[in-house]
A and B are shown apart, each in its own frame.
Chain A
Amino acid sequence: MTEQPADASPATQRLSEAIHRTLGRSLHVRHLDAGSCNGCDWEIAALLNPYHDVQRFGIDIVASPRHADLLLVTGIMTRNLEAAARLTYEAMPEPRLVVAVGACAISGGVFAGTYAGRDGIGSVLPVDVWVPGCPPRPEALIEALLVAVGRLQGRQ
């Protein structure tokens, strides 16, 4: 596993095969907006459109953290949402992964230093994959999800 997976490379393709070979079930993703501008969230929603069709990888977006393997988090972790974010993560059964989506979730983005929240989700949730972008495109999210599955495979 390279430290910095690049774009559609043989490494990513191997991971794609890894989902089907070793997981034996679909990857269920729960979305959590922890105080974003909503740009990242719309790119996550675009994963379900016919062009990106994330379901072709056996990945689906589910309605409850209790059904989820992976938490896709956007936003800076606002003070108003932090309690709900913690409850969401705690409701996930193990094994579970967290992906920080976008500059806000990674570092607070342009909102770093605000009174209204933290500089990203990292001090509240344990992050496994970081996805840069403002917002990251759906392809970047697909790469991140496939990479995250590689991690899941590693832990088992």
Chain B
Amino acid sequence: MIFRRVSEWPSWNWRGQWEEMEKLRRQMDVLSGGLSGRLFAETSAGVFPLMNMTEDSDHYYVRAELPGIKADVLDISVTGDTLSISGERMILEEKENAKYHRRERESGKFSRIVGLPSQVDTTKVEASTTDGILKVILPKSEAAKPKQITVKGE
């Protein structure tokens, strides 16, 4: 039997619980992904736009595929550890006499908030779009950066 005191839970708040759930789900996805032979298990939050987050030692990178969305209609804001992106994808109506054979591209509004794994330096966040990909670069705050500790020999 596992006994764990409440105080030992990693951050006892709603986000902490959410992250625990996410982690569990991700692990299950990895399991099922492994069975079906997929290289990457996708963990979709089911909210548009789908995002990929990566990190290196100094930054988090958030990317989303937003084809045909101009940078100026995107509304991006960052607090210490959340990133919110909202906007609207508009598809212009073509000429009136145009007869549609296929209409698979969708338009509409979207809004999404993602929790970041740690605090970021909100003053240095950069966002850009290239070829329909939004890329947000979030520098980790000093406290969240990994520190190289040198061991002194005597």
Pairing of A with B? no
> Which residues of B are interface residues toward A (Cβ below 8 A)?
none
